[in-house]
């Protein structure tokens, strides 16, 4: 028997979209991902993956389940074999053995502790709403803070009595064991000594209670806020870490927010419990809190399961700003997009949401969120004239950019940094490459670099040594991407071949070679187009009248300027252009693929030259293998293009 702890470790590590994405080409559709089902033949995608729920479902053949079920079905494995398959993939030891007495006791202890926590939630909630002492202290406080009954009920807020052992006595009377009360941290054990008898008292006394839920909705711990003004009393007391509660792996409010985060593909990250409640009550429900603790990698990875964009909302004071700066680097390092909102001095998300309407709060967040470069520059705006402080700021920004794992995202931020700080892009690129090279060379011998890290390092080397060539190549690719986007916006729903439209042909052609538009704006337009419905005219009208003025201007310019592939045709009438649509679209995609592959060949050639200079024969052999394959691909694209010309 495989332990429940091992199964949970596998489910936490095995991202369902990552695992299934190795078998089928997943495409974003709203909060979910879709593909043609791998279990039966179909032309129209009916296979859906929900990252937020961790499940897949085919509406064609009916197969459904979690990531373990997918591996069982696809690889024809038993449940235990599927667990071992995933365990091997994610380096998690999986032992299929009989459950020992200790393991059974541990499992039963966890289950019992969760039951005790649920009892405690009910006890504190009833005391808040039914006992006069709870109403006078706790409920009046929450009401004064502006929290309404639905929010109080939904989040299970409560109040702990002032008596030293009121909860402990009630729990014992209800039949719960003393050792379980102590294990959860709800009860404190005071051994006999110094003439005093053994005693058991409540951890939480005279405090407003905030239950902390697991991802599945079970109560795993509590946070208690005092209503006393004395500085000698801790403002917040939290449950200690236990068999069921690990604060570094928990986010307050995630159970209630996960669907909204997944739907909007954006997560607001705040500091405290009341920040979550106030924003949630204002209708901003894609919000979670780090519960007053320093942000951890595990918490960021929890968010990453549901969305790739995080907006950090912290207090406008110095402590809040420093906390947000620390969190920014960690979030970027996990490959997420990050924005920051700085509140006015003296305000935090809670106080701002309480003093403004829901519409005003949302408008403030949307209007004031900025990327980390602008955020850091704004913090030192007054000090930018000092050369030393300016240099320190630039180094700080460059250090932050260097942790971003995706080279395209790094390149975009380098361009932003160059534009706003007035530093040559080449200098910034070299500095980022130097920092990453230093980090790369310091890797521990016992953990060799992964192929992805090696490839990333080589790309940085290429960017540093041949920035001019890279910029030229990027411009060439950009022109190719413009051609593709032109045909998509103008003729996307027009038939191209058999039952395939222009949009479907372009999408499938790029997916078959695992390509994605590299220009962020073009990629955004491309993805947004795929979410629309309607004919060509309706979709063109949508973009030329887009709510984002930048996108509207770009679409208008794109549709009204000649393109390299169809320059001659554009001089003629529209019907002639449509008659050559298949030829022109096919050429556009082929030219784009050819350019991407050619740049990869150039990069590999330079890597080969470097390996030759350093006498690294093994590296040379590996590069030659890759180069041979890529040249064959390039030649096949070139031949196909010549055939069409």
Over residues 92-120, the pLDDT tens digits come to 888 766 767 777 788 788 889 999 999 99
Alpha-carbon distance 455 to 447, whole Å?
16
Query: Distances in Å between the alpha carbon of 382 and those of 379, 385, 396?
Result: 8, 7, 17
User: Phi-psi category of 518—alpha, beta or left, where left has phi over 0 and alpha has psi -120 to 50?
Assistant: alpha
Listed by start position, the domains of the chain span 4-89, 101-245, 249-379, 383-465, 469-644
- At 505, list the tokens: 């042909």
Residue 169 pLDDT level (bands cut at 50, 70, 90): very high
Contact 544, 559 (CB under 8 A): yes
Alpha-carbon span 123 to 187, nearest angstrom: 14
Are the beta carbons of 430 and 423 closer than 8 angstroms? no
Which of the four pLDDT bands, split at 50, 70 and 90, describes residue 561? low
| For residue 319, pLDDT beyond 80 | no
N residues, the chain? 645
Predicted pLDDT of residue 499: 67
Give phi and psi for 340, each to the nearest 5: -135, 140
C-alpha closest to that of 155 among 289, 50, 245, 293: 289
pLDDT in tens, 35-84: 889 888 887 888 999 887 788 999 888 889 999 999 988 887 888 888 88
When the candidates are 3.40.50.300, 3.30.1490.190, 1.10.1740.10, 3.90.580.10, the CATH number that belongs to 4-89 is: 3.90.580.10
If pLDDT is split at 50, 70 and 90, which confidence band does 441 have?
low
What residues contact residue 530 under an 8 Å CB cut-off, 6+ apart?
A: 27, 28, 29, 503, 507
Which tokens sit at 39?
């279990």
pLDDT exceeds cutoff 80 at 457: no
Classified as helix, coil or strand, 343 is coil
Same fold, 4-89 and 101-245: no
Q: Are 97 and 88 in contact (CB under 8 A)?
A: no
Give me the sheet containing 236-238, strands edge to edge: 158-160, 207-213, 219-226, 236-238
CATH homologous superfamily for 101-245? DNA primase, catalytic core, N-terminal domain (3.90.980.10)
Contact yes or no for 200/178 (Cβ under 8 A): yes
Q: In angstroms, rounded to a whole number, what is the distance separating the alpha carbons of residues 622 and 610?
A: 13
Residue 97 DSSP one-character state: -
- Give residue-wise pLDDT tens across range 481-495: 888 888 888 888 888
- How far is the first Cα of the chain from the last one, in angstroms, to the nearest whole number? 63
Fold of 249-379: Dna Topoisomerase Vi A Subunit; Chain: A, domain 2 (3.40.1360)
Task: Tell me the range of 476-480, 489-493, 598-602 where mean pLDDT is highest.
Answer: 489-493
Residues 6 or more apart whose Cβ sits within 8 Å of residue 223: 209, 210, 212, 236, 237, 238, 239, 252, 273, 291, 292
Q: Give, in degrees to the nearest 5, the angle at Cα 485 between 484 and 486.
A: 90
């Amino acid at each position: 028997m495989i332990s429940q702890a091992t199964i949970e470790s596998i489910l936490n590590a095995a991202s369902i979209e990552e695992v299934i994405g190795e078998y089928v080409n997943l495409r974003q559709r709203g909060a979910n991902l879709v593909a043609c089902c791998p279990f039966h033949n179909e032309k129209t995608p009916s296979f859906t993956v929900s990252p937020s729920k961790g499940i897949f479902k085919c509406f064609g053949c009916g197969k459904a389940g979690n990531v373990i079920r997918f591996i069982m079905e696809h690889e024809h494995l038993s449940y235990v074999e599927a667990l071992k398959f995933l365990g091997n993939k994610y380096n998690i030891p999986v032992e299929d053995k009989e459950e020992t007495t200790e393991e059974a006791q541990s499992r039963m202890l966890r289950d019992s502790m969760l039951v005790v926590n649920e009892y405690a939630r009910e006890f504190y909630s009833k005391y808040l709403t039914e006992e006069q002492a709870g109403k006078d202290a706790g409920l009046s406080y929450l009401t004064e803070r502006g929290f309404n009954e639905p929010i109080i009920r939904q989040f299970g807020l409560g109040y702990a009595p002032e008596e030293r052992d009121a909860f402990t006595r009630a729990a014992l009377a209800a039949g719960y064991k003393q050792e379980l009360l102590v294990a959860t941290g709800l009860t404190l054990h005071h051994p006999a000594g110094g003439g005093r008898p053994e005693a058991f008292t409540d951890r939480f006394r005279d405090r407003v209670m905030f239950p902390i839920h697991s991802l599945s909705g079970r109560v795993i711990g509590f946070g208690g806020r005092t209503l006393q003004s004395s500085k000698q009393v801790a403002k917040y007391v939290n449950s200690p870490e236990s068999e069921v509660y690990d604060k570094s792996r928990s986010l307050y409010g995630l159970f209630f927010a996960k669907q909204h985060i997944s739907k909007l593909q954006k997560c607001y990250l705040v500091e405290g419990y009341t920040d979550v409640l106030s924003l949630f009550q204002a209708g901003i429900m894609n919000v979670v809190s780090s519960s007053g603790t320093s942000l951890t990698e595990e918490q960021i990875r929890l968010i990453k399961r549901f969305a790739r964009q995080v907006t950090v909302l912290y207090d406008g004071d110095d402590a809040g700003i420093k906390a947000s700066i620390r969190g920014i680097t960690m979030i970027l390092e996990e490959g997420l997009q990050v924005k920051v909102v700085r509140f006015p001095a003296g305000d935090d998300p809670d106080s701002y949401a309480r003093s403004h309407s829901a519409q005003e709060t949302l408008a403030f967040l949307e209007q004031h969120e900025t990327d980390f470069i602008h955020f850091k520059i704004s913090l030192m705006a007054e000090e930018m004239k000092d050369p030393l402080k300016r240099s320190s700021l630039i180094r700080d920004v460059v250090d932050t950019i260097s942790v971003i794992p995706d080279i395209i995202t790094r390149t975009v931020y380098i361009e932003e940094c160059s534009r706003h700080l007035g530093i040559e892009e080449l200098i910034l690129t070299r500095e980022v490459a130097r920092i990453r090279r230093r980090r790369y060379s310091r890797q521990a011998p016992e953990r060799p670099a992964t192929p992805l890290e090696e490839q990333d390092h080589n790309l940085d080397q290429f960017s540093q040594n041949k920035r001019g060539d890279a910029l030229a190549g990027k411009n060439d690719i950009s022109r190719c991407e413009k051609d593709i986007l032109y045909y998509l916006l103008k003729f996307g729903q027009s038939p191209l071949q058999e039952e395939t439209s222009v949009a479907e042909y372009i999408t499938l052609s790029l997916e078959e070679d695992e390509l994605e538009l590299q220009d962020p704006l073009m990629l955004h337009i491309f993805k947004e187009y795929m979410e629309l419905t309607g004919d060509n005219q309706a979709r063109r009208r949508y973009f030329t009248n887009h709510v984002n003025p930048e996108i509207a201007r770009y679409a208008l310019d794109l549709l009204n300027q000649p393109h390299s592939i169809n320059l001659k045709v554009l001089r003629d009438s529209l019907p002639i252009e449509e008659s050559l649509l298949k030829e022109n679209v096919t050429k556009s995609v082929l030219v784009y693929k050819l350019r991407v592959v050619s740049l990869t060949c150039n990069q590999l050639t330079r890597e080969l030259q470097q390996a030759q200079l350093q006498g690294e024969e093994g590296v040379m052999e590996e590069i030659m293998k890759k180069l041979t394959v890529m040249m064959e691909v390039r030649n096949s694209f070139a031949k196909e293009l010549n055939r069409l010309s």
